[in-house]
Amino acid sequence: MINTIILVFVGGAMGALIREFLMIGVPPVADGFPLDILVANIAATFLLGLTAAFHARKIVTDSVNTLVGTGIMGGLSTFSSFVYGAVVLIGASVQSALVAILYLLVSVALGYVAITLGLRMGGAGSARP
């Protein structure tokens, strides 16, 4: 139990650092579209799918799956920022509300594609490991 907590803690810290570097490195979009958050979430979704597929195929251990899948990907992805970005856009103007809706739809659609691609590239063979 303690090992699991440590793995999640260390992985979460690593994921949060990676997310912050992405937030700094991804250029802002003129219309307020939160591209940095989208990139972080889609990358985390793809890598989670890959890790889950590797875990299902016994390529990675339970500990690695916990460190990467729960810890790093949990720290890298950011649901609260995802929703906050949409709420801020919705309240700004009608045009911003349309951008927010587009952002939400693109995030969900790309997230689905990314997790499926990660699972398949990891050799799970289908969307369900």
The binding site for Na(+) consists of 74, 77
Nearest one of 116, 103, 107, 109 to 46, comparing CA atoms: 116
Is the backbone of residue 33 left (phi > 0), alpha (psi -120 to 50) or beta? beta
Annotated binding site: 74, 77
CB distance 72 to 14 below 8 Å: yes
Q: Quick check: 97 and 41 in contact, CB under 8 A?
A: no
